[in-house]
Chain A
Amino acid sequence: MMIRKSLENDVLTVFLSGRLDTSNSAEFDSAVRESVDSVNEVVLDMRGLEYTSSSGLRVILALHKLMDAKGGKLVLRNVNSYIMEIFDVTGFSDILTIEQ
């Protein structure tokens, strides 16, 4: 998996690509957390993401709660149809903010 971050004003955009699974979800989690202190919105750009396991989902859920707690928001963007299906069957699509 590749993680690329870009910070503009108070919006942190994180570009994800490849496979998000148990071997790299912790790395993804800390990569986002270390940069959210002064951030109001985190955008996860998933254009290049091919797969996410449950450990990836848990990190996304935890980040969603983290941003909620500090009054900011987490937005998912460019979710491909395969990942969208995972969000749909699990009900994550009802909880998360997904912008296509």
Chain B
Amino acid sequence: MNYIDFTNKDNTATIFLKGHIDSSNAPDIEKEINETLGNEKFDNLVIDAEELKYISSAGLRIILRLKKEYPDLKIINVPTEIYEIFDMTGFAEMMTIEKAYRKFSVDGCELIGKGANGSVYRYDEDTIVKVYNQYSSLDDIKREREMARKALILGVPTAIPYDVVKVGDQYGSVFELLNADSFAELLISGQKTMDEIVDMAVELAKQIHNTPVKDGEMPYIKDTALGWVDFLKDHLPKEEYEKLNKMVNDIPREHHMLHGDYHIKNVMMQNGEVLLIDMDTLCVGHPIFELASVYNAYIGFNSADHSIAKDFLGLDWDDSVLFFNKFMHKYLEGRSEEEIEEIGKKAAVLGFTRILRRTIKRFGYENGKPLIDKARECLDKYIFELDSLYFDTGIE
């Protein structure tokens, strides 16, 4: 007989229960489970209930006996009807029982966007589904949802993140549908001038940066940046690496919310209201890290091949550089030209630190050469020119 399927991964045994389990077949199923598990002792036992249609008390008793042997027994992928049985019988309080992700089909749904990590479909009049490609892990997807949720609760304008769903073999996230245009679209179509967009982008950036975040709620960007620097230990002259390492270490630990990937394609406007999207890079830290990501979007990533600004943001290289400069002047309003220029260099150093690591890792020295040269040119010069990488934000 073959009532169950079984897998063993990292010494966690998973039993897949299928169909109806009642008193007529329960003894056979239990026998098969016991034979499958044999005398081997696994670290954990998981029951996958995705294909379970019904379970009677005879079936529940099998689970109870398994639980005695495996106190951390977990039941996953539980369909709603089966969950009700576990809930009614008190099983849901006795053990970890995870409901199955709702199944969505995007057949016939309008494709409204395609990005690096997935596609976005309009699902109904109020929601969209972001379907992730196979490279996104469930943890990444849950993290993006969780970051968006935390931001929303802290009052940052963003779309409501609903649940994580299953779309065929892939995972998706359901978000509120925004009837909105991105800042990039408004700028390129001429509906808004660059100055208007810069003003709104800076105002929103300041609102985000003025939002304090409690310890442990979001990743601390300085830790991530120290990881970039650590990678460069073998790729930069010793003295240069040490100076960079010290300067990143010296950036004070501040608790401002940062978007982490702040550019005109990630800000939308709906009925005059400005909203933020793509929240997976949300983090906390000193705003210089945000300015570094802004530098990268408009200048850093496009510095070796200027056509990337056009492909990515829809802006000519000159406009992209102009946008960054206007953004910095508006963000740092009230400071002297020299000060703004210096903070720009600090943003460039942090930006190129990230780019250098990423380019070496992804493309290697040969294929990544043009961008690696640009990064080195900037780092070699500014690291010794600067005393620190932070500035007084004036935010409490």
Contacts and interface: CB of A to CB of B under 8 A. Distances in A.
B366 interface: no
Contact of B273 (A22, A57, A65, A92): A22
B159 A90 contact: no
B280 interface: no
A97 B53 CA distance: 39
Question: Interface residues of B: mostly helix, strand, loop or mixed?
Answer: mixed
A55 B156 CA distance: 10
A22 B126 contact: no
Given A51-B126, A54-B152, A90 B160 contact: yes
Nearest to B146: A91
Given A51-B126, A53-B160, A89-B163, A23 B271 contact: yes
A92 B155 contact: no
Given A22-B270, A51-B126, A53-B126, A89 B153 contact: no
Nearest to A24: B271
B314 interface: no
Contact of A58 (B149, B150, B155, B179): B155
A66 to B, nearest CB: 12
Nearest to B126: A51
Interface in B108-156: 126, 149-150, 152-153, 155
B162 A89 contact: yes
Contact of A86 (B160, B179, B271): B160
Contact of B152 (A22, A62, A65, A90): A90
Interface in A27-43: none
B368 interface: no
B153 A54 contact: no
Nearest to A85: B162
B276 to A, nearest CB: 11
A2 interface: no
Given A57-B152, A62-B155, A90 B271 contact: no
Contacts of A22: 179, 270-271, 273
A53 B271 CA distance: 13
A69 interface: no
Contacts of A23: 271
Given A22-B271, A23-B271, A53-B126, A92 B153 contact: yes
Contact of A91 (B126, B149, B157): B149
A61 B160 contact: no
A53 B158 CA distance: 10
A65 B152 CA distance: 14
Contacts of B163: 89
Nearest to B148: A90
B270 to A, nearest CB: 5
B159 to A, nearest CB: 6
Contacts of A58: 155, 157
Nearest to A89: B162
A54 B159 contact: yes
Contact of A95 (B126, B153, B161, B271): B153
B153 A90 contact: yes
A90 B179 CA distance: 20
B176 interface: yes
Contacts of B270: 22, 55
Nearest to B156: A58
Nearest to B270: A22
Interface of B: 126, 149-150, 152-153, 155, 157-163, 176, 179, 270-271, 273, 275
Lowest 10 A-B CB distances belong to which pairs? Answer: A22-B271, A54-B160, A91-B153, A22-B270, A54-B176, A61-B155, A90-B152, A90-B149, A89-B162, A54-B159
23 contacts: A22-B270, A22-B271, A23-B271, A51-B126, A53-B160, A53-B176, A54-B158, A54-B160, A54-B275, A55-B157, A55-B273, A57-B160, A58-B155, A58-B157, A62-B155, A89-B149, A89-B161, A89-B163, A90-B149, A91-B149, A91-B150, A92-B153, A95-B153
Interface of A: 22-23, 51, 53-55, 57-58, 61-62, 65, 86, 89-92, 95
